[in-house]
Every structure is written in structure tokens, then in C-alpha cells.
Amino acid sequence: MTMTAGSNLEKILTSGQKAVTCECGPPRGADAEHFRHKASYLKGICEAVNITDNQTAVVRFCSMAASRIMMDLGMEPVMQMVTRDMNRIALQSNVLGAAALGIKNLLCLTGDHNSFGDHPQAKNVHDLDSIQLLHCIKTMRDDGKMISGTEVQGRPAMFIGAAANPFADPFEFRVVRMAKKIAAGAQFIQTQCIYDMDRFAQFMQMANDMGLTEKCYIMAGITPFKSVGMANYMKKFVPGLVVPDSYIQRLRGVPKDKQGAEGIKIAVEQIQQCLEMKGIAGIHLMAIEWEERAPEILKAAGLLPRPKVD
């Protein structure tokens, strides 16, 4: 796979080493200091950090500003973009603006429906979907053309990513949909949080059989449980997520103050299992509002220190 943006993430993945990305959500206010503080835990422990774009349809400060702040901290962002809130005019404008700011990794998502967020009365946009946004960015970068066909003055050099959820339905179609994303322009994929290892192994088998792991870097998404309460919540309320009962029992089996540690142990095991699977190019660690624990998880999983590339 040829280099397109030359981001740190792209370089590590291209070198064949297992890559690590983390995640950091901007706050629900203009408090940049708070964001810098959370982000600082992730410095030096991963190639790049995903900056969420109003995740779960809750208003936060924008992913482009947060990406730039992250760069000022000497870290590399993966700027997330959802198609829920902006039409093709605004999306393309943001891609160009992000490139102008030096952002090199973009992740294209459709986004959670606005009815889940803090402004359920909002008008949603959905002019494009995630697959069309991937195609749009790739076309701007490689062909120098906007959706309209207008020439781009200065192509955005972007390493383009997408998400995949192996746990949504219909299962047989999940890998086909990932293939569509790859065909549309995705160079790397970060999966939804993996808890059902058997189903994920089956998904990866299909991806390998279809030759997708040759065309795209697939990073396994891991989210540590902070408590049995969180595990139950994810099982019951997060659409398209499968949480096996065995984990819930395991967490329940330890005293409350040890549940966090047990959750971390589970996450480390999951990372190791994923890394053993054929076709896994790296780990995407989403320690939600638990950034400070990310270093010990990655260390225990044998993923620290991070390799250097120039």
C-alpha cells in the first residue's frame, strides 16, 4: 500500500508493525485545559488519538479544534467526521480546512442518530453517508476533484479511515459492508468495541478470505469495563453491541473496588487475543473517560514502548 499522507499512524501500519490508537472526546464546553489534561495521559503511548465528533449526538467542542490542540501538544490526531450534522458543502470544507491545519488522519462515520443526544429536536442532515464521505475524500485527494467535479486547489493529503461493526446485523453482511468502505476509500478500519471474541474471529476469517486484510489495515477496537454496571449498560443500551454474560459474571465475582482492575485484566486479554488473529494490524483502545488507565493497559499487553519511524 502506497503512502498517501505520511502520518505517524500510516507509517507504522505500512511498516508492518502493530499500531495503537487511542481515543479522546472533547468536553461539553470550551474548556481546552480539561481536554489538554485528558489528552496528556495518551502522549507517547500510541501513534495517534481519535478525536470524536459530537459523539452520541451530544454537543462538544469540535473535532477540528481539538485535533489542532492535540497537534500543539506534539501528538497526532485522527479527526473523526460524522455526516449527521453537515451537508456535502460543510464536510468538504472541513476536509480542506483540516488538511490546511496539518491534520493527516480522518475517520469517516455516519454518527449516532440525533434522537440519542442532548438535542433530540435537531434537524439531521445525512446528505452523505459514511461510505460516500470516504469516496468524496479519496476523490479530492487522488483526483483533485470535489463531488461537483470542481477542481481542488491543493489536494488534501489524508490517511482515510472508517469504522466497522462486526456485531451488528445481518452478520453475513458486515464484512461486505466493510469491503464497500474499503472500495470507497478506507485505508484503515477501526472496529466497534469487541467483546464477543468468537464472532469477531469469524468476522476476521471472512475478511481474510475476501482478501480485505491485504487492502486495508484492520484495528481491533477495545473498551475496558470500569465496572459491572458499565458492562450491563453496554449490553442493554448500546445498539449493535454484544457483551457475553461470562464477562459480566467475571466482574460480578470480584469486590466492587476491584472491578476496575478486573476490567483492565479482561481488556489486556482481549488485546492479546486480537493480536494473535491473522489480519489484525493494530489496536484501537477506547478507554472512555478513563484515559489515565490507557498506559497501564497497553504496557500490560506488551505494546509499550511504541516503535519509532521517521
Partner 1 sequence: MVVGESKPIAEILEMLKDCKKVVLAGCKGCVTVCNVGGEKEVGILASELRLARKAAGKELAVLEYTCERQCDPEYIEALDDLVKDADAVLSIACSVGPQYVAARYPYVPVFPGINTTFIGGAVEHGVWKEYCQACGNCILGDTGGLCPIARCAKTLLNGPCGGSSGGKCEVGKGAVDCVWHLIYERLKNLGQLKKLEEPMLYKNWATSRDGGPRTMIREELRK
Q: What is the C-alpha separation between 290 and 225, in angstroms, rounded?
A: 10
Shortest Å distance, C-beta 208 to partner 1:
18
* Binding of residue 90 to partner 1 (CB under 8 A): no
Classify each residue of 118-149 as buried b or exposed e, where b means 16 or more C-beta atoms within 10 Å of its C-beta: eeeeeeebebbebbbbbbbbbbbbeeeebbee
> Where are the alpha helices (H) located in the chain, listed in sequence order?
8-14, 32-40, 63-72, 88-100, 130-142, 171-184, 197-209, 212-215, 228-237, 245-252, 259-276, 294-300
| Alpha carbon distance, N-terminus to C-terminus of the chain | 17
**Subset of 68-87 contacting partner 1 (CB under 8 A):** 84
Is 29 or 211 the residue whose CB approaches partner 1 more closely? Answer: 211
Give Rg (Cα) of the chain: 19
Query: Closer to partner 1 at the Cβ: 54 or 192?
Result: 192
Query: What distance in Å separates the CA atoms of residue 43 and residue 195, rounded to the nearest whole number?
Result: 26
Question: For residue 113, with 0-12 CB atoms within 10 Å meaning exposed, 13-18 middle and 19 or more buried, which class applies?
Answer: middle
Of 20-28, 58-66, 111-119, 245-253: span binding partner 1 (CB under 8 A): 111-119
**Residue type present at position 57:** A
* Among residues 1, 3, 90, 176, the one that binds partner 1 under rule CB under 8 A: 176
Closest distance to partner 1 from the beta carbon of 290 (Å): 22
Closest to partner 1 by CB, 56 or 227: 56
Among 67, 94, 130, 213, binds partner 1 (CB under 8 A): 130
Stretch that binds partner 1, among 46-54, 120-128, 218-226, 282-290 (CB under 8 A): 120-128
Q: What are phi and psi of 227, to 5 degrees?
A: -165, 170
Kindly state whether residue 124 participates in binding partner 1, applying the rule CB under 8 A. yes
- The answer to whether residue 206 forms part of the interface with partner 1 (CB under 8 A) is no
Q: Which of residues 142-171 bind partner 1 (CB under 8 A)?
A: 147, 163-165, 168-170
Write out the residues near partner 1 by the rule CB under 8 A.
Answer: 84, 88, 110, 112-113, 115-116, 124, 126-132, 135-136, 147, 163-165, 168-170, 173, 176-177, 179-180, 183-184, 192, 239-240
